[in-house]
Structure 1
Amino acid sequence: MTPELTQLAIMAAVLLGVGLFGGLLAGLLGVGGGIVIVPVLYHLLDLLDIDSDVAMQLAVGTSLATIIPTSIVSMRAHLRKDAVDVTLLKSWGPAIAVGVVIGAVLIGLVEGEVLIAVFAVTAAAVALHMAFSPASLRLSDHLPTGIPRFGIGMLIGLISTMMGIGGGTLTVPTLVLCSYPIRRAVGTASAIGLIIAFPGTIGAIIGGWGSDELPPFSLGNVNLVALAILAPATMLAAPWGARLAHSIPALTLKRVFALFLGITSARMFFDLLT
């Protein structure tokens, strides 16, 4: 086997593992696989001697594309259980979409270090919340209305797009802190993931179009080889995580995931400093 084929085989095996792990976490915690896919794909591309700026943009764009089919499968399952708040989607969706468009434009304009910083800071904040906040913590007895609701939605769309993640990582904690039932929050977040991923992917493709620094088989900032491996793996593993969630204490899951996010965030901060 030539060195190039060996390299591709190793990359495919790692991507398969990442996809399965990301899908498993999506089913377990309702956070979406992007929070796992982006940092691992970024470091994998960096190991392949791809420039760090290009690597981060590719990781974000490819992750967003992966979320599209996963969100569709997840949303359909939650709709069958009447766990998607369609009324909330109608009032919140436009705000999230505005944030996604802004985020998609910024992906093509800012340096990769900015995307790394956004991911590192947000991952650290989510890790601290999951590790230390009590389950009973509530900031409000309802989700704000009017301009505050629009602003929160736009911020979720903006940050999620720049991180290459679905809406669950930010949407679920936000809704729960506003006294929203957890199952309803997870179900609604699955639909929000599609609102974020679809236009975000289009923006990533346009933003990287014509670049001569991209690896082979890239459609803008979406790598088709990685997408072909990651998407089926995440879709396959998500139902496993959903079943496993009923047999493992939720607090244990949150703390383990918080540890993973903390390590990921620290590693990305280290990259920024060095």
Structure 2
Amino acid sequence: MAFMDIAWLIAAMAGAGVVAGLLAGVFGIGGGAVLVPVFFQVFGIIGVDDAVRMHLSVGTSLAIIVPTSIRSFLSHRARGAVDLEILRSFVFAVPAGVLIAALVFASISSGGLRLIFGAIAFLIGIKLVFDRPEWRLGDTLPVGPVRWFVGVLIGFLSTLMGIGGGVLNNTFMTLFGRPIHQAVATSSGVGVLISIPGFLGAIWAGWDKTGLPIFSTGYVNWIAVALIIPITLLVTPFGVRIAHGLEKRQLEIAFGIFMFVVATRFIMSVL
């Protein structure tokens, strides 16, 4: 029976990797905004207890983001695209938000976690679908306590969603007039600040929990981690080909609609 459980989990995770890789390629995003919804469905198919399914999806996503965010950050930094001043100002604030999120993560219900993901996904969808160039909060990024608070908030919300912070930091920087390419490059560094303490916090939060699938340490499933990374790297280029057949605005609307669907799915699952 144990062998069949492992075989089924491997097959399910391989399928999840294909779906996540295609979506990542189509929408140009490889983090938890895609992985968490896919994991949530797959873990449900293989019978993971609903009480831990969302937590496991978030924790496993954070673990997968660690190597991808490090690789992305090093590549962007080598090109000089990262705003290191912003990153240095976040070096304590973002992990502080992650730490607070880990404490919440250990006690929040599965339904509460789904509501948080759904609410933020809905707001992201609004931004993407109805975005306008004139939507700005200012021409220069805030400094001092305001930026510290933003860093804490990005770390906090991103950890609870199982994402690398790219969507939230991109929104923050572009709302204050920064170029999207610089925002994306800087967000790769924010992903490092979030994913490393975030996935360690997920292991701690789920250390003594029952109902987790085989080869899980806390809220991280290592079969998923081992399979998803190479499969997504293999499949993502096919999604990229699809994306190149669409205009930038079409991609934004498509990903916004995807966020609306995910938000509705999570919120309805709680009601």
Q: How many angstroms does 1:239 deviate by?
A: 6.8
In the alignment, is the contact (CA less than 8 A) between 1:176 and 1:185 conserved in 2? yes
Structure 2 residue aligned with 1:71, among 60, 69, 72? 69
Q: What SS does structure 2 have at the residue aligned with 1:114? A: helix
Q: Which amino acid aligns with 1:171?
A: N
State the Cα deviation string for residues 15-39 of structure 1 (Å, max 9, x = none).
22134135425xx54x442101101
Count of residues paired in the alignment = 270
C-alpha displacement of 1:9: 5.2
In 2, the alpha carbon distance for the partners of 1:187 and 1:247 equals 24
Distance 1:99 1:9 in 2: 33
SS in 2 for 1:213: coil
Equivalent pair of 1:70/1:234 in contact (CA under 8 Å): no
* Cα distance change of structure 1 residues 259 and 117 upon mapping to structure 2, 3 Å threshold: same
State the alpha-carbon separation in 1 of the partners of residues 71 and 23 from structure 2: 15
Classify 1:242/1:150 alpha carbon distance in 2 versus 1 (closer, same or farther; 3 Å).
farther
- Once the two structures are superposed, residues 47-99 of structure 1 have per-residue CA deviations (whole angstroms, 9 ceiling, x without a partner) of 22222220001000000000011111211221122111111111122111110
Q: 1:208·1:220 contact (CA, 8 Å) conserved in 2?
A: yes
- Cα distance, 1:92–1:226 mapped onto 2, change above 3 Å: same
Cα distance in 1 for partners of 2:9, 2:160 equals 27
* In structure 2, distance between residues paired with 1:187 and 1:244: 23
- Structure 1 length as normaliser, TM-score? 0.91
Shift of 1:137: 2.1
Tell me the C-alpha RMSD between the 2 structures.
Answer: 2.2
Structure 1 spans left out of the alignment, 5+ residues: none
Does the alignment pair 1:43 with 2:44? no
- Distance of 1:71 and 1:101 partners within structure 2: 19
Give the fraction of aligned pairs with identical amino acids, expressed as a percent. Answer: 37
1:238 deviates by: 5.9
Match of 1:91 in 2: 89
* Matching residue of 2:22: 21
* Residue of structure 2 equivalent to 1:180: 178
Amino acid at match of 1:7: W
Q: Which runs of 5+ in 2 are unaligned?
A: none
Deviates more, 1:15-24 or 1:257-266: 15-24
Q: List per-residue Cα deviations over 1:189-233 (Å, max 9, x = no partner).
A: 011011100000000011111323211100110000011111223
Structure-1 separation of matches of 2:7 and 2:242: 34
How far did residue 249 of structure 1 move?
A: 1.9
Query: Is contact 1:23-1:237 (8 Å) kept?
Result: no
What is the 5 A alignment of 1:28-177? Answer: 29=28, 31-177=29-175
